[in-house]
Amino acid sequence: MSPVIHGNGYKKNSINSDAWAMLEIAHREGIETVWDRLAKQQPQCGYCNLGTSCRICSMGPCRVDPFGDGPQKGVCGADADIIVARNLARAIAAGASAHSDHGRDILETLHIVGEGKSNVYKVSEPEKLRALAVEYGVDADGKSDQELAKELAWEMMEDYGMRRKKLPLASRAPQMRQETWEKTGTYPRGVDRENVEVLHRTHMGVDNDWVNILLHAVRTALSDGWGGSMIATELSDVLFGLPKPVSSHVNLGVLRSDSVNIVLHGHNPMLSEVIVAASQDPELVALAKEKGAQGINLAGLCCTGNEVLMRKGIPMAGNHLMQELCIMTGAVELMIVDYQCIMPAVTETAKCYHTKVISTFDKAKFPGAEHISFDPGRGLEIGKQIVRKAIENFSNRVPERVHIPVEPVPMMAGFSVEAILGALGGTPQPLVDAIVAGQIRGAVGIVGCNNPKIKQDLGHTELTKRLIENDILVVVTGCAAVADGKAGLMVPEAADLAGPGLGSVCKALGIPPVLHLGSCVDNTRILVLAAALANHLGVDISALPLAGAAPEWYSEKAVSIGTYVVASGIYTVLGTAPPIFGSLNIVKLLTEGLEDVFGATFAVEPDPNRAATLIRRHIERKRASLGLSAIDPESIAMPEAELTFV
Ligand code: BF8
Ligand code: SF4
């Protein structure tokens, strides 16, 4: 392997010193990373970047050249609008399917609990189970948790089918929002139905009206946000517990040189919950000590990490771009992967160390990983088997190659909607009062990934800082949350970095100005919070001074999230460019036209300081239309662009 360091050295790749230290090792030892592979891909295909390449059928592949003299149509006659729309719809369906299939796995676990067939899972939040049963019209009276779990599971399985005209959880949205969905034909029906219909419509020769394709793509994204993802979040709370504010730590410094380190990577908390239990098993702890370790240390990566951080306070090793670097500490005995966002490269990196990679879901196997098929019915037994493998691997560690480069940074997590409302005294009124008084100008969800095309975490942290210093409350999920955690923005003391209004509210409540709402499926907590605020005020979500941002997104899941957030009425700024620029019609629709349809649009702005201005202007406009004190949006200066795409 011959590493090509992207840009002018590894400090260009990330803002974090733990990443720099590991990249230095990678450089020295010739270990390839994601940045090297990105460099080797240059120049990336211009047609694909514009979204105008198509390989849907075997008359192709085709490329259309909307701005040049090349072909304007594919072999079948599809033009740039049709091709971009089909590609975008398929990306949304892939993302929505990933989230919703995760939801299905949790739902099947609830069903197993309902049948009394699990030796490890139980209903941890009976109250939430009962509330959900009521929402689904299940009579909860006199029924045990187990009976109710089974009945609710059966009901929710219908959400994946074709018998529903509307997904029940979508009725949490304000009436006006639901009417918009009805009017536009985008009210989500069945999760699987919408996703399969995208595949049908985008087959050659089916839906060739680009607006019609995109409207169905919206419906599919809504079946994710108000369906599959929401089921994943709600049922994870029911089974594994409702997140409550918790203090923990983040960055590679959470790995311990004296302990057996197990890294939990992926998205689904089913297995990781079991690993947490198994790692506390006295027999296994004793075995670890026998092997010379002080104990068993768990650390999270990506969204599985967020799940166990939110509920169990398990420390977080890093976000998406840290997955290879984490192994290069030489201190990881075992990386357990479930699914999504796990680079196939991790098993290659692991070969350079003693680290074992264990895959666990039959739908997500990795060459070079040992596969232990996870069966929720025998959860604990499998969990113990895996933890034992980690302990046995401790003796293979090479102490001279262990390098844990930094001290961990403290961070808070665990802000479920229930916890936030609890902290406010059970009602959103105090938050509304602070917004009305102008102490808090509005709220923004910063979500999504890392993408090596953007300096790691720069987009998240700069945008967050600009917003909080201007009295805008920030809520975060996914890899954005981990970025802000590493930057020290998620402790109560960070209130000092906020403007005077937001700062004083945070100090009074003892909370950070940046609240961790969870993993990417937990973006539904943002929808629920926004709906609760809108319903409380009797307005649509689009009337509120809210915005969304995905400064460093890379994944198809993020495309689905952005789409359901906009279709729910929240203006959203993307940092990396989606592959749509080959169709000016579609760019115009997404950045302007959607305003009249959904009361919100997308914007694309890679520079976080400029994105902050766009968002601040938007929030002040919304404040003015609600009759609240507002700054003149045009008086908020738009800085010169400093950061553009790599
Ligand atoms: O679901 S933020 S890189 S880890 S896709 Fe993936 Fe993106 Fe991270 Fe979580 Ni979400
Ligand atoms: Fe080409 Fe049309 Fe086939 Fe796409 S669907 S590959 S544009 S012929």
Over the chain, what is the mean pLDDT? 96
- Angle between helix 191-201 and 80-114 (nearest 10): 150
pLDDT at residue 292 tops 90: yes
Question: Which of 303, 312, 309 has its CA nearest to residue 341?
Answer: 303
Listed in sequence order, the residues at least 6 apart from 394 whose beta carbon sits closer than 8 Å to its beta carbon are 260, 288, 291, 292, 293, 333
The residue behind tokens 């670890």 is: 288
How would you classify the pairing of strands 546-550 and 572-574? parallel
Q: What is the model's pLDDT at position 6? A: 44
Q: Does the C-beta of 71 come closer than 6 Å to ligand 2?
A: no
Q: What is the model's pLDDT at position 159? A: 98
- Is residue 51 within 8 A of residue 63, CB to CB? The reply is no
Q: Does the C-beta of 85 come closer than 6 Å to ligand 2?
A: no
Handedness of CA 236, 444, 216, 341 (dihedral sign): negative
Handedness of CA 189, 190, 191, 193 (dihedral sign): negative
Which helix (H) or strand (E) covers residue 177, if one does? helix 175-184
pLDDT at residue 180 tops 60: yes
> How many other C-beta atoms can be found within 10 angstroms of the C-beta atom of residue 23?
26
pLDDT at residue 334 tops 50: yes
Give the predicted TM-score (pTM) of the model: 0.97
Residue 18's pLDDT band (cuts 50, 70, 90)? very high
Average pLDDT over every residue of 419-429: 91
- Is residue 295 within 8 A of residue 224, CB to CB? The reply is no
Which atom, in ligand 2's list, is nearest to the CA of 73? 7
Residue 645's pLDDT band (cuts 50, 70, 90)? low
- What Å distances lie between residue 204 and 47, 78, 220, 351, 358, CA to CA? 19, 9, 19, 43, 39
CA dihedral 39, 42, 45, 50 (to 10 degrees): 70
What percent of the chain stands above pLDDT 90?
95
CA–CA distance, 550 with 641 (Å, rounded to integer)? 18
Residue 8's pLDDT band (cuts 50, 70, 90)? very low
pLDDT at residue 97 tops 50: yes
Ligand 1 shell residues, CB under 6 Å: 267, 302-303, 319-320, 341, 448-449, 478-479, 519-520, 555, 557-558
Of the residues 76, 84, 210, which should be mutated to test ligand 2's pocket, given the most ligand atoms within 8 Å of the CB? Answer: 76
pLDDT at residue 3 tops 70: no
Q: Does the C-beta of 55 come closer than 6 Å to ligand 2?
A: yes
Q: What is the model's pLDDT at position 181? A: 98
Q: Does the C-beta of 77 come closer than 6 Å to ligand 2?
A: no
Q: What is the model's pLDDT at position 379? A: 86
CA–CA distance, 230 with 363 (Å, rounded to integer)? 21
Q: Does the C-beta of 204 come closer than 6 Å to ligand 2?
A: yes
Reported as a single tens digit per residue, the pLDDT across 490-536 is 999 999 999 999 999 999 999 999 999 999 999 999 999 999 999 99
- Is residue 368 within 8 A of residue 354, CB to CB? The reply is no
pLDDT at residue 7 tops 60: no
**CA-closest residue to ligand 1 atom 3:** 449
Which atom, in ligand 1's list, is nearest to the CA of 267? 9
Handedness of CA 539, 543, 546, 552 (dihedral sign): positive
Reported as a single tens digit per residue, the pLDDT across 356-388 is 999 999 999 999 999 999 988 888 999 999 999
**Number of H-type helices and E-type strands within the chain:** 26, 16
Taking the CA of 202 as reference, the closest ligand is 2
Tokens of 46: 């211009």
Reported as a single tens digit per residue, the pLDDT across 389-406 is 999 999 999 999 999 999
Reported as a single tens digit per residue, the pLDDT across 137-155 is 999 999 999 999 999 999 9
pLDDT at residue 119 tops 60: yes
pLDDT at residue 4 tops 70: no
Question: Which of 115, 96, 236, 98 has its CA nearest to residue 167?
Answer: 96
Tokens of 555: 């994944």
Average pLDDT over every residue of 282-307: 98
- Is residue 181 within 8 A of residue 564, CB to CB? The reply is no
Question: Which of 532, 538, 496 has its CA nearest to residue 514?
Answer: 496
**580 CA to middle of ligand 2, Å?**
17
What percent of the chain stands above pLDDT 70?
98
